[in-house]
Amino acid sequence: MDFLGLTDPGGLTWRVILAYLIGAVPFGFLMCRVIKGVDLRQVGSGNIGATNAMRTLGVPLGLTAFLLDTFKGYAPVFFLAGDDPTWMVACGAAAVCGHVWPLYLRFRGGKAVATGFGVILAIDPGIVLVAGAVWVLTLLLFGYVSVSSICMGLSFPVTAWWLGHPPEIILGTALLTALILVRHRSNMRHLLEGKESRTRLWKKLWRREDLPGSK
C-alpha cells in the first residue's frame, strides 16, 4: 500500500510543504536556547547554522547540530521523493528553503550548507564523497570554513554532471550552489578585506598565528 502517495502526481504539493516545515526546524538555535540560554541570532556571526552553533556550544554539540541540520535535508528527499529526480529536487529545494527562510524564526535562517549537504547525500552519496573531500582539503590548505563551504558547493553540479545524473539533478545542484554563494557574500567580503578568521585547527597545523586573518 502506497500510504505516502508516491505514485500520485497530485501528492507532490503536500510533500513539498512538509519538506519545507522539516527544513525550517532550527536545531542549532534550539540547542543554544535550551543548553546555553542564549539566542544564537545575537552571538557570533548571528547565523543559526551549525558553524555558529559550534562556536557557542563547542565542537561535540556543534557537530550534533550539523548532523541534525544534515538530516533535515536528507529525510525529505529520502522518505518523500521516491525515485523521481524532479521530486527529489523539489523536496530538497523545499527543505533548503526552510533552513534558509524558516517560518518559525521570521524567515531569518542559515546558509544552506549542512541541509544542502543532506539533500545531496539522499540523492547520491557519491557526490557527497567528492564534495566532502573538497571541503576537507580546502580547510586544511586555507583554514577558512567559509571557503571550504563555497568550494564544496561549487563541486556539487560538477560532480553531478561527471557522474551522469539527469538534467533535473544537475540544475538542482547548480541552484543550490548559487544559493550557497549568495548566503556567503558577507564571508567573501570579509575574505577580500582580510577580516575572515581561520580555524584553530589550521593555526595548529601550520603555526601561522601572525598571518593576516589568522587571529
Whole-number pLDDT of residue 1: 34
pLDDT higher for 10 or 162?
Answer: 162
User: How does pLDDT run across 36-60, given as a tens digit for each residue?
Assistant: 888 888 887 778 888 788 888 888 8
- Is the pLDDT reported for residue 150 higher than 70? yes
| Structural domains counted in the chain | 2
Residues 139 and 176 in one domain: yes
Whole-number pLDDT of residue 74: 97
DSSP string, 142-162: H--HHHHHHHHHHHHHHHHHH
Q: Which of 91, 123, 155 is the last residue of a domain?
A: 123
Residues 27 and 118 in one domain: yes
- The CA distance from 32 to 145, in Å, is 20
Q: What is the pTM of this model?
A: 0.84
Residues 116 and 129 in one domain: no
- The CA distance from 23 to 176, in Å, is 14
Q: Which of 73, 105, 123 is the last residue of a domain?
A: 123
Residues 11 and 89 in one domain: yes
- Is the pLDDT reported for residue 92 higher than 50? yes
Q: What is the CA 148 to chain-centroid distance, rounded?
A: 12
Residues 208 and 116 in one domain: no
Residues 115 and 130 in one domain: no
Residues 79 and 154 in one domain: no
Residues 108 and 25 in one domain: yes
Whole-number pLDDT of residue 97: 96
Q: Which domain does 70 fall in, by range?
A: 1-123
Q: Which helix (H) or strand (E) holds 86?
A: helix 85-100
Residues 114 and 144 in one domain: no
Percentage of residues of the chain with pLDDT beyond 90: 55
| Residue 68, CA distances (Å) to 104, 150, 182, 187 in order | 17, 20, 23, 24
Residues 13 and 102 in one domain: yes
- Is the pLDDT reported for residue 78 higher than 90? yes
Q: Which of 104, 123, 142 is the last residue of a domain?
A: 123
**Across the chain, what does the average pLDDT equal?**
86
- Is the pLDDT reported for residue 131 higher than 50? yes
